[in-house]
Amino acid sequence: MKMSNTNNENRTLKKAKKARVIPGFGLTMGVTVTMLSLIVLIPLASVFAYALKLSPNEFFTLISKETVRNAFITSIGSSFIAALINVVFGLIIAWVLVKYEFPGKRLMDGMIELPFALPTAVAGITLSKMYEEEMIGRYFAHFGIKISYTRIGLLIALVFIGIPFIVRAVQPVLEKMDDQYEEAAYMLGATPTRTFFKVILPELRPALLTGFGLAFARGIGEYGSVIYISGNSAKEHTQMISYVIMQKLNYIDYKSATAIALVMLIISFVMLFVINIIQVRQARRVNAQ
């Protein structure tokens, strides 16, 4: 009788697990594939299809022009540096939000989402005006430092739009981290610095790498927030690759725009692949524990 009751309970649990809030796998899967195709797959496939019309020699000639090459260097280099800055300060912000209680904590936590909610063009105009020499920029001008319409301003804009990725990637890991590991390290005589680098940082590394990858990828393709503050000067090498694509489209140079877009697409796929690998390894590590 007991075995029979146990079997019935197991069957009931299996049926409960199979139940879905939205029934109909065929219909929902069809809607998912259709939306994914219309929004993502077909537009990306069109870029590949148009790029395949270019010969390899023509393709490399278009993407190796000086202005395009400098724009790639500026975009990748600035995005990489901004993502590194975001890793440091994003970790600090996440640590404060998780580990401490203080007045205005909820407000500060909500403000982290501001770069996501705020239109990027508005952010770009605000930052460029704020760091001009008539406002905050005048304090830096005394030391011969110009921010707006330079690479420094470009970095500030990329840090602004990228820091939420780091904070939101690290925050859940910090919230779930058991304080017993820190206490054990202190009891064994470890200093706070050694505890952080040997105990805490290894647990945060996958989340930091994921956030870094997302911030880096977002920075490379950013347009709205950098279009004003960067100055878009080919001479000063402050042109972002997204601006160059828009410039080519305005000149009806679809071949160059498509070639550059294809390179950007490849970079995005590589970044996505790396991020997925990091997330899979982290999931295996958590399951192994």
The residues, any chain, with a CB within 8 Å of residue 208's CB and separated by 6 or more, are 87, 91, 166, 169, 170
Give the mean pLDDT of 32-54.
78
- List, as own/partner pairs, every contact residues 143-151 make where C-beta atoms lie below 8 angstroms and the sequence separation is at least 24, other chains included: 148/229, 148/231, 149/229, 149/230, 149/231, 149/233, 149/238, 150/230, 150/231, 150/236, 150/238, 151/74, 151/78, 151/230, 151/236, 151/237, 151/238
pTM of the entire structure?
A: 0.81
The answer to whether the beta carbons of residues 107 and 205 sit under 8 Å apart is no
Residue pLDDT, tens place only, 260-270: 888 888 888 88
Tell me what pLDDT residue 22 has: 59
Residue pLDDT, tens place only, 118-170: 888 888 888 888 887 777 877 887 778 888 888 888 899 999 999 999 999 99
b/e map 163-190, b = 16+ CB within 10 Å: bbbbbbbbbebbeebeeeebeebeeeeb
Residue pLDDT, tens place only, 76-132: 999 999 999 999 999 999 999 998 888 988 898 888 988 888 888 888 888 888 887
